[in-house]
Amino acid sequence: MPNDETLIHPEQPRFLLSAWMWAVALFVFFGVIVAIAFGAMQRGSSYEADRAKARAEKLKTAQDEWNKTSGSYGWVDQAKGIAHIPIQRAMQLELADLQSKKPAPAGPIATPEPAVAATPAATAAPNTPSDPPSMTPLGTPVPKPTGTPAPAGLKS
């Protein structure tokens, strides 16, 4: 068991006031340096303002080009025979074209047959090179049509 003299050091006080004062002074010193550095920094950035200005210029250029070409006749690619015409004239031509066509009834809508879950052995049928079956996106063979039915009014 150690004696009491080895545990107590009378020449070293437990609380060192000067060490604490130096630590506080150092902390304050670094705080002042940080405050000066942040105070000297430039506030704000012109990056977003520059981007907005560039976007506005591009928009104005595109609008000027559109206004110049949308109401006039001209070539887009003369070698290929592609030209542009004013929008109002294009709408008049398209309307006249649509009015000249007679409406036709829509044909019957073909609904696909429900896909049957096929096993790999069932789909491994040999293909003849002269008549390969057509395939759907799912990989199941499409049945070949057996023929067209005769119209209802005709008898063979």
User: Could you report the per-residue pLDDT of 25-83, keeping only the tens digit for each?
Assistant: 999 999 999 998 888 777 777 888 999 999 999 999 999 998 888 888 989 899 999 99
Cα 55 to Cα 49: distance, rounded to the nearest angstrom: 10
| 69 occurs within a structural domain | yes
> Would the pLDDT of 120 be above 50?
yes
Q: Please report, in angstroms and rounded to a whole number, the separation of the first and last CA atoms in the chain.
A: 126
Overall number of domains in the chain:
1
- Give the structural domain span for 62: 48-99
Mean pLDDT for 133-144 is 57
| 23 occurs within a structural domain | no
Q: 112 Cβ partners below 8 Å, 6+ apart? A: 136
| 140 occurs within a structural domain | no
Cα 43 to Cα 27: distance, rounded to the nearest angstrom: 26
| 54 occurs within a structural domain | yes
For 75, half-sphere exposure in the C-beta direction (CA atoms, 13 angstrom radius) is: 5
| 79 occurs within a structural domain | yes
CA distances from 27 to 23, 58, 64, 152 (A): 6, 52, 61, 101
Phi (first) and psi of residue 141, to 5 degrees: -65, 145
| 59 occurs within a structural domain | yes
The pLDDT value given to residue 9 = 59
| 43 occurs within a structural domain | no
More confident residue, 128 or 89: 89
| 123 occurs within a structural domain | no
Q: Exposed, middle or buried: residue 154 (CB in 10 Å: 0-12, 13-18, 19+)?
A: exposed
